[in-house]
Amino acid sequence: MSVFPKDFLWGGAVAANQLEGAYNEDGKGLSIQDVMPQGIRGSRTEVPTEDNMKLIGIDFYHRYKEDIKLFAEMGFKVFRTSIAWSRIFPNGDETEPNEKGLQFYDDLFDECHKYGIEPLVTLSHYETPLHLSREYDGWVNRKMIGFYERYVRTVFERYKGKVRYWLTFNEINSILHAPFLSGGIYTPAEQLSEQDLYQAIHHEFVASALATKIGHEIMPEAKIGCMVLSMPTYPLTPSPDDVIQAMEDDHKNLCFADMHVRGEYPGYMKRYLREKGIEIHFEPGDEELLKNNTVDFLSFSYYMSTCATADKEKQAQGTGNLLGGVPNPTLKASEWGWQIDPKGLRYVLNQFYDRYQIPLFIVENGLGAVDELITDANGNKTVEDDYRIDYLRDHLLQVEEAIKDGVEIMGYTTWGCIDIVSASTAELKKRYGFIYVDRNDDGSGTLERYKKKSFDWYKNVIATNGESLHQ
Ligand code: BGP
């Protein structure tokens, strides 16, 4: 008997800027992604340049029907994507939306419903309109709340019958490490003061609570969640100093979830701000807004765990992981240095549920790997991606454990269910999909889609509601 609930939302996840392409079609304005040809690795450009893989992406803008059909064939119950803000408000500060942008998402959501697939929509996924970043310095500026409010009101009104599940900001805590990507903050990270950074974070908290409020007013049946990057932090040794270091590192991320679920700044965060001399400016009404508009569910990405140490020398040795910490000597890493830790997923699910007792949604998890396209015995092109199947199976078995622990989980969407451009490195060769897309980092490729071995594997997992994980 499957332990997954009957209505478990199985599916896949992507973000507009990583797959749509059509970066300047039908009235779309530029987003910060259009000037980030190397992701967060390199510097940004003044204008879009041809080496930026996101300008074409995988041409989902023109091929979405073919792709949704493949998702339906796998049995997806849910498809997570984002709305590119700059398709709806090209500069971000206009008063009237771009009808062609709105129409695109109408058509996309209709296509999902044609197959009984529920859209799960991220309102802001690393794609702030570039103009808002350059003119206003992104979320450092309180005016962003008003621009975001107009945008979310517009899309809530438009899609109220079509979208029930919404996320306000993708990986909202990533602003700590990538202020331009995550918060549209144009000031270079090394010049950004912590005062401005935390004020920007406050503006996002207020905007997120406001979106939750407006969303509930316009769509009483909708479920609105926050989305955080989860990365459990283990102490490197049993030394109490390492344990405390791990707790403090964890707090830096957990406070984003605490704010969304509890609606107020936690004590440990107030202490951090106080001791750093940071004073958050609250406008009248902010406190009540935050307190009265907490989220319906908590969603998160999970790729890796990390370790913390109080030993300064070891800290300086750095890490292969994305967000700091030091490597765990017991774990192996992916080709991109992300340490693989299926049990960390069970751990983090329990940690969140013990803390909040609200439904959880795993909206990103997966393995970025180099795939080799081969021709099988029947003459079909495919990828024998057993490593991806192993990764996903190992993680899903831990989701099962967490369900047995009593954790309430709404669903699971694998990241990059079709190959897309990487967020951190802007490469196409870092592939996550069940569907191979023939496009390479030098711009070559036909854009044809091919099913990988994992395609049928995931189809079977969904069809058996997880029972096939044990076969
Ligand atoms: C998360 C982002 C995604 C994404 C994923 C994988 O941080 O929300 O947008 O792409 O990580 O990262 P990458 O594409 O860098 O492998």
Residue 97 confidence (pLDDT): 98
Cβ atoms 184, 191 nearer than 8 A: no
Tell me, using a 6 A CB cutoff, whether residue 171 lines ligand 1.
yes
CA of 432 to the centre of ligand 1 (A): 10
Rounded Cα–Cα distance for residues 430 and 82 (Å): 20
Q: Is 171 a catalytic residue?
A: yes
- The pLDDT, as a whole number, for residue 315 is 83
The one-letter amino acid at 156: F
Q: Pocket of ligand 1, candidates 422, 430, 432: which has the most ligand atoms within 8 Å of its Cβ, to mutate?
A: 422
**Structure token digits, residue 283:** 């406008």
Spatial CB neighbours of 384, under 8 Å, sequence gap ≥ 6: 372, 374, 452, 453
CB distance 124 to ligand 1 below 6 Å = no
Ligand 1 closest atom vs CA 336: 16
430 lines ligand 1 (CB under 6 A): yes
Question: In 3D, which of 140, 209, 150 has the Cα closest to residue 175?
Answer: 140
Given a contact cutoff of 8 angstroms between Cβ atoms, the answer to whether 381 and 373 are in contact is yes
Hey, which bits of 303-345 come out as E strands?
A: 306-308
Question: Which positions ≥6 away from 317 have C-beta within 8 Å?
Answer: 326
Closest residue CA from atom 12 of ligand 1: 423
Rounded to whole angstroms, the Cα distance separating 174 from 189 reads 13
Which candidate, 222, 170, 210, places its Cα nearest to that of 290?
210
Which mutation among 127, 301, 304 tests ligand 1's pocket best, with the greatest number of atoms within 8 A of CB?
301
Whether 169 lines ligand 1, by a CB cut-off of 6 Å, is no
Closest atom of ligand 1 to 126 CA is 9
- The answer for residues whose C-beta is within 8 angstroms of residue 424's C-beta and 6 or more apart is 39, 40, 41, 322
Tokens of 391: 């990764």
Q: Rounded distance, CA 78 to CA 109, Å?
A: 11
Tens digit of pLDDT per residue, the chain (471 long)? 899 999 999 999 999 999 999 999 999 999 999 999 999 888 899 999 999 999 999 999 999 999 999 999 999 999 999 999 999 999 999 999 999 999 999 999 999 999 999 999 999 999 999 999 999 999 999 999 999 999 999 999 999 999 999 999 999 999 999 999 999 999 999 999 999 999 999 999 999 999 999 999 999 999 999 999 999 999 999 999 999 999 999 999 999 999 999 999 999 999 999 999 999 999 999 999 999 999 999 999 999 999 999 998 888 776 655 567 898 999 999 999 999 999 999 999 999 999 999 999 999 999 999 999 999 999 999 999 999 999 999 999 999 999 999 999 999 999 999 999 999 999 999 999 999 999 999 999 999 999 999 999 999 999 999 999 998
Q: What is the Å distance from ligand 1's center to 381 Cα?
A: 26
Query: Could you give the CA distance from residue 407 to residue 404 in angstroms, rounded to a whole number?
Result: 7
Q: H or E segment at 289?
A: helix 286-292
Q: Which atom of ligand 1 is nearest to the CA of 430?
A: 16
Q: Which atom of ligand 1 is the closest one to the Cα of 424?
A: 15
Q: Give the pLDDT score at 313.
A: 86
Q: What is the distance between the alpha carbons of residues 20 and 437, in angstroms, rounded to a whole number? A: 13
Ligand 1: does its nearest atom lie under 6 Å from the Cβ of 422? yes
Ligand 1, atom nearest to 15 Cα: 9
**DSSP state for residue 280 in the 8-state scheme:** P
pLDDT at residue 41 in the model: 81
The pair of structure tokens assigned to 453 is 């071995």
**R_g over Cα of the chain:** 21
Q: Token pair of 253, please?
A: 């991320």
Residue 243 Cα to ligand 1 midpoint, Å, equals 28
Task: Say what the pLDDT of residue 318 is.
Answer: 66
- Per annotation, catalytic residue among 20, 111, 364, 427: 364
Query: CA dist 95 to 141, 154, 296, 304, Å?
Result: 18, 10, 30, 41
Q: Which of 171, 400, 401, 427 is catalytic?
A: 171
Q: Enumerate the β-bridge partners of residue 413.
A: 11
Residue 154 alpha carbon to ligand 1 centre in Å: 27
Identify the pLDDT of residue 453: 98
Told to judge if 408 belongs to the known catalytic residues of this protein, a careful annotator would answer no
**Residue whose pair of structure tokens reads 């030993």 in the numeric block:** 311
